[in-house]
């Protein structure tokens, strides 16, 4: 049975939906960011501050390769996993890739108080950063995804049920 892989910007519901589907399908769920934090023994913002984004992306790529070698796993990817082509190839080959999407206003409302992530641009306001990063990543998410699901208006439970109905039981 293939993996179910979730991509998208933070605040789109990836972790919540992945965990719900883990319960529905009786599969293990692995959050890439949570795993990287656990392995590094520090928050992502500290890891990036100490070692830089390239180091973080290297760790992320190694973990992506590791997880894509599993079967019947639900993988909750970090928002930037699609920034490396090797990651995109790996996740597309391992199973069905679901892109959970939301408009910038929804994302800003959902994650506005999150201070556990470092800035992705360094010089922009939070709102400007979300808009800029989404503009850059949207074509990458679209290219990587097998299925796109808008999460702006639906609770994670509704999104998870929709995905549950889409996935053949043989997967």
What's the pLDDT tens digit per position in 16-34?
A: 999 999 999 999 999 999 9
Determine the number of helices (DSSP H) and then strands (DSSP E) in the chain. Answer: 8, 5
More confident residue, 116 or 70: 70
* Placement of tokens 């699609």 in the chain: 82
Q: What is the pLDDT of residue 130?
A: 87
Report the C-alpha gap between 15 and 20 in whole angstroms.
9
- What was the pLDDT predicted at 90? 96
Cα–Cα distance for residue pair 86/82, rounded to 1 Å:
9
Q: What is the mean pLDDT of residues 33-61?
A: 95
Helix (H, G, I), strand (E, B) or coil at 125: coil
- Whole-model pTM: value is 0.91
Q: Is the pLDDT of residue 76 over 90?
A: yes
- Of residues 35, 29, 1, the one with CA closest to residue 14: 29
Between CA 84 and CA 162 the distance in angstroms is: 29
Mean pLDDT rounded to a whole number for the chain:
91
Q: What is the pLDDT at residue 114? A: 57
First to last CA, the chain: 5
CA distance 95 to 118: 30
Confidence of residue 63 (pLDDT cuts 50, 70, 90): very high
Average pLDDT over residues 105-114: 82
H, E, C per residue of 49-117: HHHCHHHHHHHHHHHHHHHHCCCCEEEECCCCHHHCHHHHHHHHHHEEEEEEECCHHHHHHHHCCCCCC
Sequence ranges of the domains in the chain? 3-166
Q: Which fold has domain 3-166?
A: Rossmann fold (3.40.50)
- Which pLDDT band holds residue 168 (cuts at 50, 70, 90)? confident
């Amino acid at each position: 049975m293939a993996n179910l892989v979730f991509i998208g910007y933070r605040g789109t519901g990836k972790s919540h939906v992945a965990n719900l589907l883990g319960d529905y399908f009786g599969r293990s769920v692995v959050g890439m960011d949570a795993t990287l934090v656990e392995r590094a023994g520090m928050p992502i913002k500290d890891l990036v501050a100490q070692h830089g984004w390239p180091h973080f992306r290297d760790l992320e790529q190694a973990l992506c390769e590791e997880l894509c070698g599993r079967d019947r796993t639900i993988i909750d990817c970090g928002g930037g996993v699609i920034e490396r082509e090797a990651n995109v190839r790996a996740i597309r080959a391992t199973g069905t890739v679901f892109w959970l999407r939301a408009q910038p206003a929804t994302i800003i409302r959902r994650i506005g108080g999150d201070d556990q992530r470092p800035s992705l641009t360094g010089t922009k306001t939070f709102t400007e950063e979300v808009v800029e990063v989404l503009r850059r990543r949207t074509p990458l998410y679209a290219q990587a995804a097998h299925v796109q699901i808008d999460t702006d208006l639906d609770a994670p439970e509704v999104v998870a049920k929709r995905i549950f109905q889409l996935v053949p039981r043989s997967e």
